[in-house]
């Protein structure tokens, strides 16, 4: 049984994230989606809220579990027994950033590789930050996020 770890901020989960989860769930027998807590970065949603939303969004995938983690990705690799780390890559900027992270994580884990999945064409432009900005101004974000994320954002910004 192979386990893939998909770490991220997920503040909040978008259709781009959900597409990666759907694709990874077909490639590995077990997928751990992890909300990484960065104490230096104040998100719009609390890590607990992001994880709850993801849990609900991943309900239909029996091989996907959701966690929250306050340390390094490498620690989580060990504690969940991950064989590989998975990241979605939208463009050259993502590739550059993720490649650096992959080097650190390979060194810290004694060889665990990071697998890059190219973002689907439909979702290449979607980012949590853009979606939050649009939602803050009351713009329609329905084509970028799952309905549950849209509801959570509307509630947060009191536009719905
Ligand atoms: O969804 P994001 O914002 O691209 O996720 C980035 C994240 C959370 C995966 C990254 O910041 C991260 O790995 N943070 C944990 C700290 C860590 O393990 N760093 C790796 C070596 S510097």
**Residues designated as active site:** 17, 41, 90, 128
Q: Is the pTM of this model over 0.85?
A: yes
pLDDT score at 159: 54
Residue 158: what pLDDT?
A: 84
Q: Edge-to-edge strand order for the sheet containing 64-69?
A: 64-69, 30-36, 3-8, 84-89, 113-118
Is 101's C-beta closer than 6 angstroms to any atom of ligand 1? yes
* CA 51 to ligand 1 centroid distance, Å: 16
What separation in Å is there between the alpha carbon of 38 and the centre of ligand 1? 8
Q: Is 85 in the pocket of ligand 1 (CB under 6 A)?
A: no
> What digits encode the pLDDT tens for the residues 11-53?
999 999 999 999 999 999 999 999 999 888 889 999 999 999 9
| Cβ of 103 less than 6 Å from ligand 1 | no
């Amino acid at each position: 049984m192979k386990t893939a770890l998909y770490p991220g901020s997920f503040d909040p989960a978008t259709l781009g994230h959900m597409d990666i989860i759907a694709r990874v769930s077909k490639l590995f027998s077990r997928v751990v989606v992890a909300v990484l807590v960065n104490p230096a970065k104040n998100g719009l949603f609390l890590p607990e809220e992001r994880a709850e939303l993801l849990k609900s969004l991943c309900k239909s995938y029996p091989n996907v579990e959701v966690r929250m983690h306050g340390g390094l990705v490498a620690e989580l690799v060990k504690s969940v027994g991950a064989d590989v780390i998975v990241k979605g890559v939208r463009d050259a900027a993502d590739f550059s950033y993720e490649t650096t992270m992959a080097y650190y994580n390979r060194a810290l884990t004694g060889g665990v590789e990071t697998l890059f999945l190219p973002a689907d064409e439909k979702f290449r432009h979607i980012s949590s930050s853009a979606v939050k900005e649009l939602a803050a101004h009351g713009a329609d974000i329905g084509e970028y996020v799952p309905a549950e994320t849209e509801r959570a954002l509307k509630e947060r910004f009191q536009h719905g």
